[in-house]
Structure 1
Amino acid sequence: MKKIVVFALVLVVFACKEKPKEDSKEVEQEAEIQIEQEESEWTVLFDGSSWDGWHVYSGRDIEEAWSLQDGAMLLNKTSEARKDGSRFNIITDKEYTNFVLSVEWMVNSGANSGIMWGVVEDEKYPEPYTTGPEIQVLDNIDHPDAKNGTNHQAGALYDMVSPTKNVVKPVGEWNHYTISINHKTNKGSVVLNDILITEFPVNGEAWDAMVSKSKFATWEAFGKSQTGKIALQDHGEPIVIGYRNIKIKEL
């Protein structure tokens, strides 16, 4: 009888020791499922191999100014290409309202660009920034706009909200933005290189108050449309700017 009891206890102890392994496998499987579900929520906006889903704001040919190299889109226009004063801002074919945008960006020395949302494409608006608020993309060291205040530097909601930290990588290196715009919760944010640096309202009285204190105060259509296209800015200088790995999650 004693031997049977001891044997039973051994079985119980063995079973208890094995259970965490089973639980661990279940946790791993659940984590994999969650990752797959999260990935399926994202839509690729730029896969590095084509211009599908994008066009120039003015309707001109993208390849007059931009090129595809090593999985990235690069803006590198020469001075000669700008003789007529035209710019080559590129925008999405589709419009978005509430979203999370993931994008990598790189600037060369002296470069200036930006990522805009809520852009209304219309002949009466000559540039995307006429209607779309901008998250700044900039060389904080050598571009003169960086001297006009921290709300003009990389990661800023341009001319309105400054980043709380400067975590920009040196020119020529890739940075990563996660930009969230949610009109349902009235929250916008910028995460740069995995660090939350900028938060702001996106509509209502708080938004209007910010705009009223900015250079956009008298711009009739600025920031008025909650739904619009996403734009990548050509600021006008013949400097290398790059974007890659662009994807979006609609909220």
Structure 2
Amino acid sequence: MRALRVTLSALIVLGAATAAAQRPEDTEQWTPVPRVVTPSKGSPTPAAPPSDAIVLFDGRNLDEWASMDGGPAQWTVANGALTVNKKAGNIQTKRSFGSYQLHLEWRIPPEITGSGQARGNSGLFLASIGAGDAGYELQILDSYNNTTYVNGQAGSIYKQFPPLVNAMRPPGEWQTYDVVWTMPTFGGDGSVATPAYVTAFHNGILIQDHVALKGPTLYIGPPKYTPHGPSPIKLQAHGDPSPPISFRNIWIRPLDVQMEVKK
């Protein structure tokens, strides 16, 4: 009986320790803080996409996008921009993609409010592999004079890798992301054959240099891979109370056209 009590006590302690480890704060990194680099001023008009690009948003409609339940995307299109509708939830592309080059522009409204993670929060999910916020997230946030954990600031692979530098323009100016995504591959037994890789530029400045991801984004706990194939690209409607952000000029170049699957 004494041995049983000792065993039960050990299990309780182990369970409590495991539960205590599963907190959002445990995967937040606060130092070192990426140095600030001032990029060139943003352009008021978007540049034309390459001739071989698939245009995902050209300022006119949401034909390439859907809500997470497969219905029409319910975000707002006006004046050449796509603005988040937080009540409508996330949207994702109707097509699925393997490895690709992606260009996306986003804008924090000049009247932005809040601080930390509650200031212009959104996300570019480079591969959406499930409902809600499941996938691999490149963070979107107002990181212009806004302190938060560094693997949660703009340009971070959320909860994994801080950006090399903070290349934010101030609110009201258009920001650019240029991303090269290499999707992960898996063996027949579900093991990781090759991890996902990300190279990313923020306002023309390198912020992620061919980093090997640890798995999809998790808000709580360490990431781990689940086998998947080509996937949609998702934009996040984050639930923070700050005014919604906008997007424009989104295009993609599949790097292996045979890996592109149309839904």
TM-score for both structures, normalised by structure 1:
0.66
C-alpha contact 1:113 1:138 (8 A) present in aligned 2:
yes
Aligned match for 1:247, one of 228, 231, 251 = 251
Structure 1 window deviating more from structure 2 (211-220 vs 150-159): it is: 211-220
C-alpha contact 2:125 2:233 (8 A) present in aligned 1:
yes
Determine what percentage of the aligned residue pairs are the same residue: 30
C-alpha contact 2:136 2:217 (8 A) present in aligned 1:
no
Q: Does 1:164 align with 2:153?
A: no
Task: Compute the displacement of 1:167 (Å).
Answer: 1.1
Gaps of 5+ in 1: 1-35
Q: Does 1:230 align with 2:233?
A: yes
Q: Residues 218 and 49 from structure 1, CA distance in 2 versus in 1: closer, same or farther, beyond 3 angstroms?
A: closer
Q: Residues 190 and 116 from structure 1, CA distance in 2 versus in 1: closer, same or farther, beyond 3 angstroms?
A: same
C-alpha contact 2:137 2:217 (8 A) present in aligned 1:
no
C-alpha contact 1:161 1:200 (8 A) present in aligned 2:
no
Task: Compute the displacement of 1:139 (Å).
Answer: 1.2
Query: Where does 1:184-203 land on structure 2 (aligned, <5 Å)?
Result: 187-202=197-212
Query: Where does 1:101-112 land on structure 2 (aligned, <5 Å)?
Result: 101-108=102-109, 109=112, 110-112=119-121
Task: Compute the displacement of 1:219 (Å).
Answer: 6.2
Aligned to 1:42: 53
C-alpha contact 2:216 2:224 (8 A) present in aligned 1:
no
For residues 134 and 198 of structure 1, the distance between their equivalents in structure 2, rounded to whole angstroms, comes to: 13
C-alpha contact 2:144 2:169 (8 A) present in aligned 1:
no
Q: How many residues of Structure 1 are paired with residues of Structure 2 in the alignment? A: 189
C-alpha contact 1:160 1:211 (8 A) present in aligned 2:
no
For residues 212 and 175 of structure 1, the distance between their equivalents in structure 2, rounded to whole angstroms, comes to: 23
C-alpha contact 2:136 2:216 (8 A) present in aligned 1:
no
Aligned to 2:173: 173
Higher helix share: 1
Secondary structure of 1:51 counterpart: coil
Q: Residues 188 and 226 from structure 1, CA distance in 2 versus in 1: closer, same or farther, beyond 3 angstroms?
A: farther
TM-score for both structures, normalised by structure 2:
0.63
Aligned match for 1:70, one of 75, 79, 82 = 79
For residues 71 and 219 of structure 1, the distance between their equivalents in structure 2, rounded to whole angstroms, comes to: 38
For residues 68 and 43 of structure 1, the distance between their equivalents in structure 2, rounded to whole angstroms, comes to: 19
Secondary structure of 1:248 counterpart: strand
For residues 180 and 134 of structure 1, the distance between their equivalents in structure 2, rounded to whole angstroms, comes to: 13
Task: Compute the displacement of 1:119 (Å).
Answer: 1.1
Q: Residues 180 and 218 from structure 1, CA distance in 2 versus in 1: closer, same or farther, beyond 3 angstroms?
A: closer
Please tell me the residue identity of whatever aligns with 2:222: A
Secondary structure of 2:233 counterpart: strand
Q: Does 1:58 align with 2:59?
A: no
Secondary structure of 1:151 counterpart: helix
Please tell me the residue identity of whatever aligns with 2:170: P
Gaps of 5+ in 2: 1-47, 113-118, 185-193, 256-263
Please tell me the residue identity of whatever aligns with 1:98: S
For residues 101 and 115 of structure 1, the distance between their equivalents in structure 2, rounded to whole angstroms, comes to: 11
Task: Compute the displacement of 1:173 (Å).
Answer: 1.1
Structure 1 window deviating more from structure 2 (67-76 vs 94-103): it is: 67-76
Q: Residues 102 and 216 from structure 1, CA distance in 2 versus in 1: closer, same or farther, beyond 3 angstroms?
A: farther
Secondary structure of 2:95 counterpart: coil
Q: Deviations over 1:54-103 (max 9, x none)?
A: 0111345533xx211111101255xxxx4xxxx51010000011001001
For residues 138 and 89 of structure 1, the distance between their equivalents in structure 2, rounded to whole angstroms, comes to: 16
Please tell me the residue identity of whatever aligns with 2:84: L
Please tell me the residue identity of whatever aligns with 1:177: Y
Q: Residues 44 and 160 from structure 1, CA distance in 2 versus in 1: closer, same or farther, beyond 3 angstroms?
A: same
- Aligned-pair Cα RMSD in Å: 2.9
